A and B are shown apart, each in its own frame.
Chain A
Amino acid sequence: EAGVVQSPRYKIIEKKQPVAFWCNPISGHNTLYWYLQNLGQGPELLIRYENEEAVDDSQLPKDRFSAERLKGVDSTLKIQPAELGDSAVYLCASSLDGGLYEQYFGPGTRLTVT
């Protein structure tokens, strides 16, 4: 069984440029998460999807961040425009029900904003 796939693995951009991250969850997992992880910290939730619906996006900086999960499968997280402070690892995870079961994480995208 394939795991959670993320691309790209690394991205370097200049500030004010846009950037997009893509995630393909494990087949059959209805719940999809995007996390942000700063160096030396645990993952922090950005947004959680149940199928196509974003059910928790309270931590998503909506002035510059957006996300979508079309057809309840793949998801894209976008930042526009990027700021220096956005440099971090962006993790995608999926689960049958993240509240009750384990989550499966992708390898993450390491973003560097210069």
Chain B
Amino acid sequence: SQQGEEDPQALSIQEGENATMNCSYKTSINNLQWYRQNSGRGLVHLILIRSNEREKHSGRLRVTLDTSKKSSSLLITASRAADTASYFCATSRNSGYALNFGKGTSLLVTP
């Protein structure tokens, strides 16, 4: 079953703009992870944020986590055409548990 749910399902922006994707989940978690998938390729890990963290940065990526609202957001600043991909959030309850992936947000960045 898929616990995470991304919003929006699809997002289209122009290069240079910021892209924000949201993820909501249902049960308590140990950590939440964001992955990127280019068309026809495997998933690539972007950021892992643990339940006791509120914000994390990696290059142009910023992830926030609000455990009280059971939600997370991924912000991509100054987007590029190469950021065009599907973005998935995945949650883990703890060690020994598998990740539960959402259905993803499809991001299109046009030049």
State how many residues of chain B have any CB contact under 8 Å with chain A: 27
- Does the CB pair A99–B97 fall under 8 Å? yes
A105, B43: Cβ atoms under 8 Å? yes
- The main secondary structure of chain B at its interface with chain A is loop
Q: What separation, in Å, do the CA atoms of A44 and B88 have in the docked complex?
A: 12
Residue from A43, A56, A103, A106 whose CB has the most chain B CB atoms within 10 Å: A43
Closest to B4 in A: A42
**Cβ–Cβ < 8 Å partners of B102 in chain A:** 42
A-B contact count (CB 8 A): 68
CB distance A98 to B98 under 8 Å?
A: yes
In contact, B48 and A102 (Cβ under 8 angstroms): yes
Residues of A in contact, count (CB < 8 Å) = 27
Quick check: is A55 within 8 A (CB to CB) of the other chain?
A: yes
B43–A43 CB distance below 8 A: yes
A108 to B93: give the CA distance in the assembly, Å: 25
User: A91–B42 contact, CB under 8 A?
Assistant: yes
Report how far A100 CA is from B91 CA in the complex, Å: 10
A-B contact pairs, 5 of them (CB 8 A): A42-B2, A43-B43, A98-B98, A102-B33, A105-B42
B-side residues, CB < 8 A to A, are 2, 4, 30-31, 33, 35, 40-45, 48, 88, 90, 92-99, 101-104
